[in-house]
Amino acid sequence: MTDTAISPLRQRMIEDMEVRGFTVCTQRSYLAVVTNFTIFLDRPPDEGTAEDLRRFQVHLRAEGASATTMNAAVSALRFFFRVTLGRGDAEVGMTTVRTPHRLPVILSPEEVARLLDHAPGLKAKAALSVAYGAGLRASEVVSLKVSDIDSQRQVIRVEQGKGRKDRYAMLSPDLLSLLRGWWRTAHDKGKMLPGGWLFPGQNLVNPLTSRQLSRLFHGAKQAAGINKQVSLHTLRHCFATHLLEQKIDIRVIQVLLGHAKLNTTAHYSQVDSRTLRAVKSPLEHLKLPPA
């Protein structure tokens, strides 16, 4: 959606999203999809037909777009045509794509410890420890303020996490000790404003960004010599899986992760190595002679 010829249409879509409480990230994503559709169409997007939308999906697939990318495009264009344009006729040309189910790669507790030990600095170690020790998403870690750490109740207040929901995350004594050490160091060096962000960026008024935290993760991963294909979000996966392996009730883990549905949390049972190790393979009953 270009800014010149159809800026009023763009503004209307933004207003429609704001009324429905869409996050800035979602708004940016939806606008980008409509912009790409406009470029593909080579004419105003409100002139698009069901056949145009079908061709756009074919184009995305030909360009190698993932199922996640294609489904995000479908959601954005359905909103644009149904809500902003008030049309239901065009969206019949779109269909969602089945997303391949992949199990997350999990680091062992020893690998996580090694990664945290190789974090580039105390701030990085503290932030990455929050991601693992409390199971927070990257966006939730960087959005924390000093006041969100409740040492008396030993909880972390997560404001407006995914789905715009507040929740409390666990705060272990070891993590609290690490955060106190980081706070004292940053406070003494004037790198943290009173009542400000727990992990401020170079400009103390702004928090560390998710992208910057991700770079710190990959730096620690490389320094620790970990070759697994993992990302910053892996620490959240590790949090859930390691708790499950410690026999923590899955419903408790669901609450700690902030999952609305138990089915989402139940996926971690598929990577629970404790459960797999407890099952005796039928091969062991064959009593094969040693090689």
Q: Which positions are catalytic?
A: 137, 162, 233, 236, 259, 268
Q: How many residues does the chain have?
A: 291
265 neighbors 240 (Cβ within 8 angstroms): yes
Task: Name the phi and psi angles at 158, rounded to 5.
Answer: -105, 110
Nearest to 236 by CA among 100, 122, 107: 107
Tell me which residue of 202, 166, 183, 193 sits closest to 130, measured CA to CA: 183
Q: Which residues contact 139 (CB under 8 A, 6 or more apart)?
A: 161, 162, 210
Q: At what angle do helices 67-79 and 24-41 cross, to 10 degrees?
A: 90
- b/e string for 181-195 if b means 16 or more Cβ within 10 A? ebeeebeeeeebeee
